[in-house]
C-alpha cells in the first residue's frame, strides 16, 4: 500500500504545482510496490490497449473520446505508455485502499512493454495500429518488435483489431491464437503512395519472396499478396473510403455510415478507422462514435498552432515513416516557411539517431519552400549535417543548441521575411519544453494553443 499512497501523493502534488504528472507518480509507486499495476488492474472490469509503432496516441485519444460517450473511462491521453505511465493514469482513479473508482480503461501501451502489461491487466480488446522500424536501440529491428507484440497478445484472451493493409500486422494475426478482426481502406480508394516510399515489410515473412502490390497507401500499407505462397491481404471486416474529410465505413452487410473526421492526413484516416473499428467491436453505436469524434482533442505535437508572432505550428517526429508523413503534410501547405527542427537522443527518443538518414528530409529543399532552417537540441548538429546532404544550402541553416534561443531565432527570421509561418519538428523529449517555450511567446494571455486538424 505504501507505493500506492506515495504515488498518489506525488501525483496530487505535481498537479497542484501545475506540473506534468503522467509518469513520475507511477515510477515512484512502482519502486515501492513493483506489482502495483497488477493490483490496480484487478479492479478493472475491462481494459482496451492500443499499441503499434505510429498513431498510438491519436488512436487512443479518439477511442477514449468515443468510449466516454458510453461510460466513465481511465486513459493515459498524453502518451505516457510504459508501466510507470499506466500506473500514473490508474492511480488518479484509485482510492487509498486501491479500489478502482472507474471500471473501464483505454490505455496506450508501448510495444516493448506489452508482454508485461498483458499479464497485469484484464485486456478484452487489443488494437495494433501498424508496425514500422522505430528506435533501433530500444526495439532492435522489426523482427524483435513483431515477436514482442505476438508474445504480448498471446498472453491475453483479447479480441485483437489489426490493420489489414499492413503485411506486418497480418503476420501478427496469423500467429495470434485468439480471435482477430481487420480494418483497412476500401480497395477502390486508389493509390496514395508508391514502392519508392517503402522501407519496411517489403518481403513476405512466411516465405521470403518480395511482395506484390495492386495499390500502395503509404509505407508498406496497401493491397498486397505474395506471388510464391498463400500470404495475402485479408478481407477487412471494417473497410473505409475517405473523401473530403469524411470517412465512410462499411461493416459487413450493415448500412454504410459516414463520419466527419477531426484529423487530416492519410495516416490519420487509418488512426480514425482503427478507433472506429475498435469502438464497433466494443459495442458502441454510430451516434456515440460521432459524438466521440466531435469531442476529440489532438495530443501535443500534432499540428498545434501557437499564437506567436508570426504563428508557429508544432509537430512530433520520431521515426522515418512518421517523419515522412509530417514532412509531406508541411510541404503541402502553400507559401514560404521557416522550419525549426529539435532533435534529442534521450532514452525516450532513442539513442540511435541513424533514422534521420532514412527519413525523406530531401523534401525540405525540393518541395517545402523553406526559406531557412534552425536546428537545435542535443543532436542539432547531426540534423544540420543531414540537411546539408539532403541538398539544403549551408547559408539557409543555423544551429543553436539552446531551444529557447532557437525558437527566438526562428521567429525573428520569420518576421524579417514578412511574417512567414514557422513549422517546428521535434522529437519526444524536446516536444514538451518546446511547447512551453512557444506558450510563453504567444501574443495573448490564453496559453491554450489552437488545434489545427492533427497530422499524426
The DSSP bridge partners found for residue 281 are: none
pLDDT the model gives residue 72: 94
The one catalytic residue in 137, 143, 214, 352 is 352
Write out pLDDT tens, residues 154-209: 999 999 999 999 999 999 999 999 999 999 998 665 545 544 555 567 899 999 99
**Given this model, what pLDDT does residue 456 score?**
39
Strands 104-108 and 73-75, sheet pairing: parallel
What pLDDT is recorded for position 37? 96
Q: Give the H/E segment covering residue 422.
A: strand 422-426
Sheet holding 302-306, edge to edge: 397-399, 370-376, 337-342, 422-426, 312-316, 302-306, 450-451
pLDDT at 138: 47
pLDDT in tens, 210-232: 999 998 888 889 999 999 999 99
- Reference 78, options 445, 374, 435, 440; nearest CA is 435
Query: Which residue from 135, 159, 164, 163 is spatially nearest to 429, judged by alpha carbons?
Result: 135
The 10s digit of each residue's pLDDT in 425-440 is 999 899 989 999 999 9
Q: Is the pLDDT of residue 455 over 50?
A: no
Least confident of 27-41, 301-315, 365-379: 301-315
Q: Residue 363: pLDDT above 80?
A: yes
Write the pLDDT tens digit of every residue in 112-167.
Answer: 899 999 999 999 999 999 998 765 544 456 888 899 999 999 999 999 999 999 99
- What are the angstrom distances between the C-alpha of 425 and each of 299, 301, 454? 15, 8, 14
Quick one: which of 37, 33, 188 has its CA closest to 117? 37
> Which of 117, 441, 400 lies closest to 307 in space, CA to CA?
441
Catalytic residue flag (residue 166): no
Domains recognised in the chain with CATH numbers: 1-295 (3.40.1190.10), 304-440 (3.90.190.20)
* Model pLDDT for residues 19-53, shown as the tens digit of each residue: 878 889 999 999 999 999 999 999 999 999 999 98
- DSSP classification of residue 210: B
pTM value is 0.81
pLDDT above 90 for 244: no
Percent of the chain at pLDDT > 70 equals 92
State how far the Cα of 235 lies from the Cα of 372, in Å rounded to an integer.
46
> DSSP character for 233?
P
* pLDDT, average across residues 345-362: 89
Q: Where are the beta strands (DSSP E) in 113-237?
A: 123-128, 159-163, 180-185, 212-218, 221-225
Amino acid at each position: 500500500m505504501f507505493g500506492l499512497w506515495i504515488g498518489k501523493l506525488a501525483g496530487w502534488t505535481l498537479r497542484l504545482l501545475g506540473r506534468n504528472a503522467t509518469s513520475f507518480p507511477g515510477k515512484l509507486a512502482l519502486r515501492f510496490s513493483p506489482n502495483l499495476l497488477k493490483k490496480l488492474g484487478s479492479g478493472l472490469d475491462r481494459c482496451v490497449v492500443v499499441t503499434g509503432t505510429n498513431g498510438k496516441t491519436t488512436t487512443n485519444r479518439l477511442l477514449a473520446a468515443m468510449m466516454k460517450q458510453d461510460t466513465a473511462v481511465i486513459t493515459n491521453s498524453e502518451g505516457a505508455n510504459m508501466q510507470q505511465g499506466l500506473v500514473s493514469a490508474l492511480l488518479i482513479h484509485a482510492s487509498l485502499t486501491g479500489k478502482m473508482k472507474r471500471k473501464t480503461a483505454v490505455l496506450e501501451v508501448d510495444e516493448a512493454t506489452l508482454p508485461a502489461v498483458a499479464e497485469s491487466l484484464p485486456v478484452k480488446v487489443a488494437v495494433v495500429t501498424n508496425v514500422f522500424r522505430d528506435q533501433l536501440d530500444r526495439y532492435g529491428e522489426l523482427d524483435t518488435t513483431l515477436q514482442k507484440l505476438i508474445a504480448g497478445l498471446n498472453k491475453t484472451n483479447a479480441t485483437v483489431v489489426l490493420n489489414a493493409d499492413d503485411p506486418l500486422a497480418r503476420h501478427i494475426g496469423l500467429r495470434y491464437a485468439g480471435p482477430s478482426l481487420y480494418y483497412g481502406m476500401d480497395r477502390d480508394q486508389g493509390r496514395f503512395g508508391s514502392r519508392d516510399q517503402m522501407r519496411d515489410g517489403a518481403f513476405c515473412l512466411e516465405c521470403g519472396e518480395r511482395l506484390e502490390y495492386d495499390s500502395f497507401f503509404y509505407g508498406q500499407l496497401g493491397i498486397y499478396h505474395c506471388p510464391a505462397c498463400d500470404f495475402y491481404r485479408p478481407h477487412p471486416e471494417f473497410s473505409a473510403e475517405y473523401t473530403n474529410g469524411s470517412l465512410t465505413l462499411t461493416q459487413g452487410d450493415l448500412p454504410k455510415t459516414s463520419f466527419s473526421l477531426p484529423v487530416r492526413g492519410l495516416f490519420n484516416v487509418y488512426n480514425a478507422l482503427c478507433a472506429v473499428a475498435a469502438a464497433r467491436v466494443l459495442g458502441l453505436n454510430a451516434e456515440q462514435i460521432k459524438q466521440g469524434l466531435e469531442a476529440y482533442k489532438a495530443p501535443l505535437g500534432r499540428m498545434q498552432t501557437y499564437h506567436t508572432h508570426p504563428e508557429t505550428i508544432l509537430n512530433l517526429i520520431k521515426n522515418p515513416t512518421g517523419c515522412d508523413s509530417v514532412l509531406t503534410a508541411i510541404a503541402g501547405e502553400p507559401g514560404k516557411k521557416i522550419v525549426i527542427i529539435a532533435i534529442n537522443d534521450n532514452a525516450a527518443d532513442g539513442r540511435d539517431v541513424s533514422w534521420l538518414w532514412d527519413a525523406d528530409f530531401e523534401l525540405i529543399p525540393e518541395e517545402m519552400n523553406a526559406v531557412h532552417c534552425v536546428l537545435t537540441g542535443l543532436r542539432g548538429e547531426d540534423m544540420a549535417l543531414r540537411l546539408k546532404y539532403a541538398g539544403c544550402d549551408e547559408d539557409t541553416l543555423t544551429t543553436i543548441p539552446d531551444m529557447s534561443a532557437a525558437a527566438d531565432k526562428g521567429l525573428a527570421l520569420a518576421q524579417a521575411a514578412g511574417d512567414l509561418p514557422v513549422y517546428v519538428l521535434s522529437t519526444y523529449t524536446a516536444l514538451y519544453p518546446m511547447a512551453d517555450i512557444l506558450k510563453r511567446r504567444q501574443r495573448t494571455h490564453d496559453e491554450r494553443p489552437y488545434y489545427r486538424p492533427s497530422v499524426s
